[in-house]
């Protein structure tokens, strides 16, 4: 008596579904990666300016100018230096560079990336 074993595995439709899902996630990663790398650059610039600032020698205007120069040098174009808030509160200087990036994924589908950890006290070591 010969028993036939039926082969089981993924059908063509199953493989196509998996390939479409993997392709979608790769496309999302490729669209979101530049904004994330730009965030890392902005974080580096803000941290550098905040740690190197000398309150006795520099004004807020000089601090803003230094930040604008560093953002321009590092080719950060999506974050406007005028949107970065630099202010004094309770005798301490703060830099608030929190922002959101909206990226079109496809058609009417957008992704919003919120970068809200860029508020630093000037003169303090980096967190």
Using DSSP's 3-state secondary structure scheme, residue 115 falls into strand
Tens digits of residue pLDDT in 23-63: 999 999 999 999 999 999 999 999 998 888 776 677 889 88
Alpha-carbon gap, residue 91 to 93, rounded angstroms: 7
The whole-model pTM stands at 0.80
Question: What would the two tokens of residue 25 be?
Answer: 């996630």
Tens digits of residue pLDDT in 99-123: 999 999 888 999 999 999 889 888 7
Task: Check whether 16 has a pLDDT greater than 70.
Answer: yes
């Amino acid at each position: 008596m010969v028993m036939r074993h039926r082969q089981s595995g993924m059908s063509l439709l199953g493989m196509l579904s998996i390939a479409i899902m993997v392709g979608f996630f790769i496309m999302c990663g490729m669209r979101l990666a530049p904004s994330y790398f730009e965030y890392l650059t902005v974080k580096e610039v803000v941290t550098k300016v905040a740690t190197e600032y000398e309150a006795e020698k520099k004004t807020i205007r000089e601090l803003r100018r230094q930040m604008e120069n560093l953002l321009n040098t590092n080719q950060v174009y999506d974050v406007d230096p005028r949107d970065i808030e630099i202010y004094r509160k309770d005798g301490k200087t703060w830099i608030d560079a929190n922002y959101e990036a909206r990226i079109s994924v496809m058609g009417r589908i957008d992704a919003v990336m919120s970068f809200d950890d860029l508020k630093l006290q000037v003169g303090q070591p980096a967190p």
